[in-house]
């Protein structure tokens, strides 16, 4: 497919010798796009499978999972009590309460909006609100 240098109909449009752009040809889709889609789907399936299995086991209250969870909570609580981490963790919890984080993020969101970074601002605000 050879690109003809002359422009037709406006800036940015190119005429192709066979009338079909490379991006629209079926061979390009099969050769380039389809393998990427297949790799992405396989990666998603492989990475999601352990999460789905764990979620099913948790919702079914599978006793080994419940026991492991209870032991982990007990061990973490004991470490916190023995080493005096409780005040630090309570301070962490107080400072990182979502409402305080939102209040701190509002000036940053306004600044990015003013700098015409509207896409990033919307992404950041929506991410905070969904989270």
pLDDT single digits (tens) 19-39? 656 666 688 888 888 999 999
The count of structural domains within the chain is: 1
**Res 28: pLDDT:** 82
Task: Quote the domain boundaries for residue 101.
Answer: 97-131
In a domain, 109, yes or no: yes
In a domain, 13, yes or no: no
In a domain, 76, yes or no: no
> 131 falls in which pLDDT band (50, 70, 90)?
confident
Residue 14 dihedral angles phi and psi, to the nearest 5°: -125, 145
Give percent of the chain above pLDDT 70.
Answer: 81
For residue 30, CA distances in Å to 1, 23, 36, 75, 89 come to: 17, 11, 10, 54, 54
In a domain, 117, yes or no: yes
In a domain, 67, yes or no: no
In a domain, 5, yes or no: no
Q: With a cut of 80, say whether residue 97 has pLDDT above it.
A: yes
In a domain, 12, yes or no: no
Q: pLDDT tens digit string along 56-93?
A: 999 999 999 999 999 999 999 999 989 989 899 999 99
**Res 85: pLDDT:** 92
Tell which wins on pLDDT, 45 or 24. 45
Structure tokens belonging to residue 26: 């079926």
In a domain, 79, yes or no: no
Q: How far apart are CA 100 and CA 83, in angstroms?
A: 28
């Amino acid at each position: 497919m050879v690109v003809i240098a002359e422009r037709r109909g406006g800036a940015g449009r190119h005429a192709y010798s066979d009338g079909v752009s490379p991006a629209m040809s079926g061979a390009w889709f099969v050769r380039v796009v389809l393998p990427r889609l297949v790799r992405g789907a396989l990666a998603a399936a492989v990475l999601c499978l352990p999460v789905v299995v764990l979620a099913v086991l948790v919702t079914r209250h599978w006793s080994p999972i419940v026991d492991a969870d209870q032991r982990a909570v007990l061990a973490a609580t004991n470490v916190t009590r023995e080493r005096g981490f409780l005040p630090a963790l309570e301070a962490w919890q107080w400072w990182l309460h979502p409402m305080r984080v939102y209040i701190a993020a509002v000036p940053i969101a306004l600044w990015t909006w003013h700098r015409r970074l509207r896409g990033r601002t919307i992404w950041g605000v929506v991410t905070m609100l969904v989270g």
